[in-house]
Structures are given as structure tokens and as C-alpha cells.
Amino acid sequence: MAKKRRILVTGVARWWGALVVQRLVEDPDVAEVIGIDIREPRYDLGRADYLKLDIRHSLIGKLVRAVGIDTVVHTLTRIDSFDMDPARAHEMNVIGTLNLLAGCAGEGSPVRRFILKSSGHVYGSRFDLPTGLREDHRLDSNSRHQFVRDIVEVESYASDFAVRNPNITILALRFSNSLNPQEPQPLARYLDLEVVPTVIGYDPPIQLIHRDDCIAATVLATKRGPGGAYNIAAPGAEPLSSLLDSAGKLHAPLLPPFGLGLAALAFRQSGIAFLSPQLLDLLRWGRTLSTAKAARELGFRAARDTRSAFEDFIQQRRVLRYEPDRHAYQYEKELEDFIHSRQLASANGEGETNGALAEVSDQAASKPRRRHPRPRPAPRR
């Protein structure tokens, strides 16, 4: 009987790591899943354990050996972010990944498989890029953008690590831009604007991938496939204008090709959209990835093409606009339960008079109680 796997997943505070954990805990061949992050998860991790741990900490190596981790899924890398400046991103992407790799190496390490979430941004986005980029294409190591240089550097460290540790299989998954309606990233947020501003004179090919396909590819990579880099994307690409038209989105050429950075700054300061430097390049030149290797070696084929992934995203975003914020504090139900319990107690002769009850109810209405979070179960040892 094959030994059941023990898997460590980084970045479980955000959707990518959390949804991967949700899939892995359902796998009968997985004995244990541990999720780590420096922030509390917003998603249910099922039977997985959560540890508040920074990947830059030296305890990573001790955890790997103590638990017997054989597979590491590193989803914490950032390529585009609203809330992380380039200096902090460098710390997390480069320094954090280096420390994580170091914790998986050395005498007695049980790790045999390492999955790295990378990005198609490593190829850059320029006028001279060929259509259908393959994994052996030169990476944009001299990019003008810090985020891109960081991910290229992370991949280079992972490749060097694989050479020095041939007993550990390392897979770098280069995702095209992903679409998740619950946590849209800069490109998804841009595409979701009421009127989408495009670059004057440009209609780039855009290749997107649905959230569910991202998770499916990551989970699949934990199980099979030789080491190396893999492009993960939906089949084909769509011109930006056709993509927006198909979803009924209004768009207009409002961004000048010269002075594009200044226009993006104005959009950001006015609160309209956050257009990162690498995203501006994409909106001019586009980028398409070949997915033949992933289909051949991993057996992965995206369930949705670019258009259907985008249309599903837009539909879900429209629904979410009319849903209450699940993370906002809502005390109405709590207040009703409190009043109802006092009324029952009063009816049974155990409470105060009606006048006192009304006074208590008024006080409760003016000063609602705060909801106390349920204690999180301690991690299994």
C-alpha cells in the first residue's frame, strides 16, 4: 500500500492557497494537510491544520521534519498586488521562497515534491513576443518592473535548487492572469469597471484562466508530472475589444500610449482603477501562452476557454454586488435572539418586569454586543 502524503501549503489566508487546501483534504491519498500564513484564513480549511507562521522563519525546516512533509505547495508568491509595495513583495517572494527551499533541503528532509506558483508575467509583454509562448522562451530577467524581476529570480533559485537536490521534484506553474470574483486582482478589477478604458490604438490578445482551473492545475501538479516549468492557461486568446463586447461591457479608448504611466497614476489617485506597470504593458501588447506541455506532461486542460472564464467572472461579480458583505458585522439577528430569550425568561417569571425589559432592549439596540469569534482548534501534532 502506498504511503499517504503529508502536504504543506503556503498562503492560505488568500483564496489560492485556501481553495487548494479544500481540494487536498478531500483526497483519500492525503493523510494530512497543514496550511501556513501570517494572517488568519478567511476560508474554511476543513480538516486541515492552520499555523500562523512566516515562511521567512527558520522554524520551517523543523516543521517539515517534525510532521514528515513530503509535498510543499507554495502559493504565497505575488506578481500583482493592491496592498503590497515592491520592497515588501521582494521580501516575501524572494527571501521567503529562499528560506522555504532551504527548509526543504538537507539531511533527513522528507520533501520529495515542491510546487511553485509562478506567472506568465515572467516572459514580459512586448511588441516582439511570439504568439503561443513556450516554456523554453527566454524570461524577462531585465524587466523594468520589480514584481516581474522578483518572480524570475524566484524561478532561477528554484531551478538551481532542483539541480542541487535531484531527489526533490520541483514544478513551476506559470499561470496566465486569473479570474476570481471573490478576490479580483488588478487585471480582473480593471475588466470589471463600468466603463473599461483601453489604450488608444491597441487591441491586445488577452488570455485568462478561471479560478477553478487554477486550483485544478495546482492540485494535479501535486500528484504527477516531471519537474520543470509549465504554462497554465485557457486554450487560445481573445482580442480585448471582442472579450469586452462578448460580456456586454462598455469600453472606450481613454488611455494615451504616450504618457500611459501618468494616465494610470491619475486613474489610481481618483480611485477609478489600479493599473500596475506590468498590467499597462499587457494592455498594450498582450501575451499568449502555449499549453501543450501541461496537457502532455500533467494531463491538464482548462475546463473553460478565455471567453467563457471571463463571462462567468462578470456574471458572478454582478451577483456579488447585490449580496451583503459576509465579513461585515451584522448584529440584527443577535439582538433579536437576545430580546427573545429575555421575553421567554420574563414569561417564566425568571426575568424583570416589562418596563425593565424594554429598558434593557433599548440599551441593547443602542449598544449592540460584539460577536466573539469561535476559538480555532489547536493544530494536530
**Residue 349, pLDDT score:** 62
- The CA distance from 187 to 275, in Å, is 8
**Residue 353, pLDDT score:** 42
- Alpha-helical segments (H) within the chain: 15-24, 59-67, 86-90, 96-104, 146-164, 186-191, 211-223, 240-246, 260-269, 277-285, 292-293, 306-320, 332-347, 354-366
Q: How far apart are the first and last CA of the chain?
A: 24
**Residue 381, pLDDT score:** 41
Task: Please give the model's pTM, rounded to 2 decimal places.
Answer: 0.82
**Assigned C-alpha cell, 358:** 424594554
List, for residues 126-185, the tens digit of each pLDDT value.
Answer: 999 999 999 999 999 999 888 899 999 999 999 999 999 999 999 999 999 999 988 888
* All domains of the chain in start order, with CATH: 5-182+206-234+281-305 (3.40.50.720)
**Residue 83, pLDDT score:** 61
**Assigned C-alpha cell, 13:** 489566508
- The CA distance from 206 to 131, in Å, is 11
Q: What is the full per-residue pLDDT of the chain (381 aa) written as tens digits?
A: 678 999 999 999 999 999 999 999 999 999 999 999 999 999 999 999 999 999 998 899 999 999 999 999 999 998 876 666 778 888 889 999 999 999 999 888 999 999 999 999 999 999 999 999 999 999 999 998 888 999 999 999 999 999 999 999 999 999 999 999 888 888 888 999 999 999 999 999 999 999 999 999 999 999 999 999 999 999 889 999 999 999 899 999 988 988 888 888 888 888 777 888 888 999 999 999 999 999 999 999 999 999 999 999 999 988 876 665 554 444 455 555 666 666 666 666 655 444 443 443 444 444 444 444 444 554 544
**Assigned C-alpha cell, 217:** 492545475
